[in-house]
Copies of this chain bind each other. A is one copy, B any other.
């Protein structure tokens, strides 16, 4: 089987202050937020802006011990991950695993917007944290 990447689902951007960053994106880039959600198991508050068939995702850390909080502490704000839309996250994980990829998530788990998601470790993707997203 081969993974089929349908589209770039979103670009995830870690920010220090979510509210001021949302305002900055509104005024600087003329985009309006279309979705806001707290994802408890990831420890993030996210805000999405629709751009064509993709989203810009701003990520604020719920606390310093969350993945985004640790990323902010060590690398500062900026590009955090890229998410590809796929038809079948479980199948994609099987395929990546067969090719020797190191997975953060061995099975799909619930993401925001009622999606199924999984992360692939940056060590297997040239330093890029990759998320796979399946819409339901």
Contact surface of A with B, Cβ cutoff 8 Å? 2-8, 11, 13, 15-16, 21, 24, 27-31, 51-54, 56, 76-82, 84-85, 95-96, 99, 101, 122, 124-128
Give the docked Cα–Cα distance between A27 and B124 (Å).
Answer: 12
Assuming A5-B29, A8-B8, A84-B29, is B53 touching A52 (CB within 8 A)?
A: yes
CB–CB B101/A28 < 8 A = yes
17 cross-chain CB contacts under 8 A:
A3-B28, A5-B29, A5-B51, A7-B51, A8-B11, A8-B51, A13-B128, A21-B126, A24-B126, A27-B99, A28-B99, A28-B101, A28-B124, A29-B84, A52-B53, A78-B126, A79-B128
